[in-house]
């Protein structure tokens, strides 16, 4: 089992290809994928220098180096195919899947969207995405609390997204762990719903700090809840002065234009960058 | 939640580099703003190290204080929170330290 995440040996990560209906455990192939990345660390020199003295071996390595290397590989894969990849993170129930369903229905014809769905169990969300008209694979992380770069790589193997398309990665509902793990995405998006607290950006600063966009969802409920939109936005900006906020309702569709404009712009940018670098 | 995974990574990286030799000490750096709790990593470490070349090894955790430089006035200051603003009022800052999450070195048992 992957040592990057804390999901334990008993955790069974599963991948459901919702097009073919095939489900398979990720473990065996994941071990294999990791083999290629078992760095040799280049520490041999140090060993010799220190063997007879302090026996101290310098390692100087980021603890998440393995995940970071795999994430860079995903990033290069996306870039080579001019794919816009976005990592959607939120607490459970903030409306990630509903946001994607509406987005697929509204702009799915002008841009090809496919989805990697991360959940601890079930393929409910993957089925919802498929019903909305997009291809999706469901990664079940077992007891794991976040997606990692290797899970995404395997998801991409099954999904085979088209050149120039958009890949939405819906992370496991969790405001803590996903922020630490680079998946190779172009941008992270934090989704906050007005049924949560407006102080959430302060309570979970890593997630909002790592995100380029905050989507404030369920604004159709603002009149019914004790949530101050201005305070929430001010708190997000306090944690991350560069964050861009879109307030919308995935239920009613209010506020979606600015989100779609941003999506179109980012997709165009990915293609421009690809042209420039070749 | 992810501290168990972090402890596993420490054991995995050190075991690979030790190439079968026994590891007696590992030194890691964990920034106070890294999103990883040093205490929780220490708690998991002994359990994860069991049955590996790191069994019984001492885990030295250097906790690094968060510091930032203000992009408005240039002051350097301690940041107990990720979003601590500068005394001048600006929250446009550059992180100097506090987000470290790395394995620095290890000590191997002297060959008999």
Asked if pLDDT for residue B111 goes beyond 90, the answer is: no
Give the DSSP per-residue string, A106-143: HHTTTS-EEEEEEESS-SHHHHHHHHHT-EEEEEE-TT
Does residue A229 or residue A10 have the better pLDDT? A229
Q: How far apart (Å, rounded) are the C-alpha atoms in residues B17 and A43? A: 7
Model confidence at A50, pLDDT cuts 50, 70, 90, reads very low
Residues 83 through 112 of chain B touching chain A, CB cutoff 8 Å: 83, 85, 91-92, 101-111
Query: Which of A8, A270, A25 has the alpha carbon at shortest distance from A151?
Result: A25
Residues 38 through 67 of chain B touching chain A, CB cutoff 8 Å: none
Cα–Cα distances in angstroms (integers) from residue B45 to residues A9, B39, B61, in the given order: 16, 10, 11
Per mean pLDDT, which range of A26-40, A105-119, B10-24, B74-88 is the poorest?
A26-40
Residue-wise pLDDT tens digits, A146-157: 899 999 999 999
CA-based radius of gyration for chain B: 17
Domain architecture of chain B: domains with CATH: 2-108 (3.30.2320.80)
Sequence-distant (6+) residues with CB within 8 A of A164 are A81, A82, A83, A112, A267, A271
pLDDT of residue A54: 52
Asked if pLDDT for residue A39 goes beyond 60, the answer is: no
Model confidence at A46, pLDDT cuts 50, 70, 90, reads very low
Per mean pLDDT, which range of A20-29, A106-115, A177-186 is the poorest?
A20-29
What mean pLDDT comes out for the span A224-236? 97
Q: Do A63 and B106 touch (CB under 8 A)?
A: no
Asked if pLDDT for residue A223 goes beyond 70, the answer is: yes
pLDDT of residue A209: 93
B82 closest CB neighbour out of A39, A47, A209: A209
Q: How far apart (Å, rounded) are the C-alpha atoms in residues A201 and A203? A: 6
What mean pLDDT comes out for the span A223-242? 95
What mean pLDDT comes out for the span A232-255? 96
Which residues on chain B are in Cβ contact (under 8 Å) with A43? 17
Q: How far apart (Å, rounded) are the C-alpha atoms in residues B8 and B87? A: 39
Q: Do A64 and B92 touch (CB under 8 A)?
A: no
Up-side HSE of residue A106: CA atoms within 13 Å toward CB? 19
CA torsion A182-A188-A193-A199 (nearest 10°) is 80
Q: How far is B29 from chain A (nearest CA, A)?
A: 9
A111 token code pair: 């841009």
Mean pLDDT of all residues in chain A?
87
Asked if pLDDT for residue B84 goes beyond 70, the answer is: yes
Q: Do A63 and B103 touch (CB under 8 A)?
A: yes
Q: How far is B3 from chain A (nearest CA, A)?
A: 7
CB–CB of B5/A5 below 8 Å? yes
Cα–Cα distances in angstroms (integers) from residue B43 to residues B61, B99, B105, in the given order: 12, 20, 20
Residue-wise pLDDT tens digits, B1-45: 688 889 999 999 999 999 999 999 999 999 999 989 999 999 999
Q: Do B92 and A57 touch (CB under 8 A)?
A: no
Q: How far apart (Å, rounded) are the C-alpha atoms in residues A205 and A169? A: 21
Per mean pLDDT, which range of A231-235, A243-247, B16-20 is the poorest?
B16-20
pLDDT of residue B1: 62
Chain length of chain A: 278
pLDDT of residue B88: 96
Interface A:B, Cβ pairs < 8 A: 103
Residue-wise pLDDT tens digits, A6-38: 444 445 688 888 888 888 887 644 443 433 334
* Host H or E run for residue A208: helix A205-210
Share of chain A above pLDDT 90, in %: 70
Sheet with B67-70: list strands edge to edge: B76-78, B67-70, B93-97
Asked if pLDDT for residue A161 goes beyond 90, the answer is: yes
A277 token code pair: 């670098």
């Amino acid at each position: 089992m992957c040592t990057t995440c804390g999901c334990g040996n008993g955790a069974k990560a599963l991948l459901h290809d919702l097009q073919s209906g095939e489900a398979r455990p990720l473990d065996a192939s994941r071990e294999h994928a990791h083999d290629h990345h078992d760095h040799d660390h280049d520490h041999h020199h140090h060993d010799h220098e220190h063997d007879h003295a302090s026996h101290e071996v310098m390692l100087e390595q980021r603890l998440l180096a393995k995940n970071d290397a795999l994430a860079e590989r995903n990033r290069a894969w996306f870039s080579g195919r001019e794919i816009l990849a976005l990592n959607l993170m939120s607490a459970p129930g903030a409306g990630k899947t509903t946001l994607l369903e509406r987005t697929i229905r509204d702009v799915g014809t002008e841009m090809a969207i496919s989805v990697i769905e991360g959940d601890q169990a079930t393929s409910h969300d993957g089925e919802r995405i498929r019903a909305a008209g997009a291809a999706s694979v469901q990664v079940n992380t077992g007891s794991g609390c976040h997606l990692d770069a290797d899970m995404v790589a395997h998801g991409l193997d099954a999904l085979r997204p088209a050149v120039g398309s958009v890949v939405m990665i819906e992370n496991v509902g969790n405001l803590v762990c996903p922020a630490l793990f680079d998946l190779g995405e172009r941008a992270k998006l934090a989704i906050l719903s007005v049924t949560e607290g407006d102080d959430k950006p302060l309570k979970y600063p890593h997630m909002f700090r790592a995100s380029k966009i905050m989507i404030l969802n369920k604004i159709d409920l603002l009149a019914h809840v004790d949530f101050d939109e201005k305070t929430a936005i001010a708190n997000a900006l306090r944690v991350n002065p560069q964050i861009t906020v879109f307030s919308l309702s995935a239920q009613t569709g209010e506020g979606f234009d600015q989100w779609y404009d941003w999506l179109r712009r980012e997709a165009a940018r990915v293609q421009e960058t690809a042209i420039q670098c070749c | 939640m992810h501290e168990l995974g972090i402890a596993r990574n420490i054991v995995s990286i050190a075991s690979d580099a030790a190439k079968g030799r026994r590891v007696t000490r590992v030194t890691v750096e964990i920034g106070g703003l890294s999103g990883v709790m040093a205490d929780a990593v220490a708690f998991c470490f002994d359990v994860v190290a069991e049955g590996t070349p790191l069994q019984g090894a001492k885990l030295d955790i250097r906790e690094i204080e968060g510091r930032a430089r203000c992009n408005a006035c240039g002051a350097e200051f301690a940041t107990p929170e990720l979003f601590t603003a500068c005394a001048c009022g600006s929250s446009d800052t550059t992180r100097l330290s506090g987000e470290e999450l790395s394995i620095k070195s290890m000590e191997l048992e002297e060959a008999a």
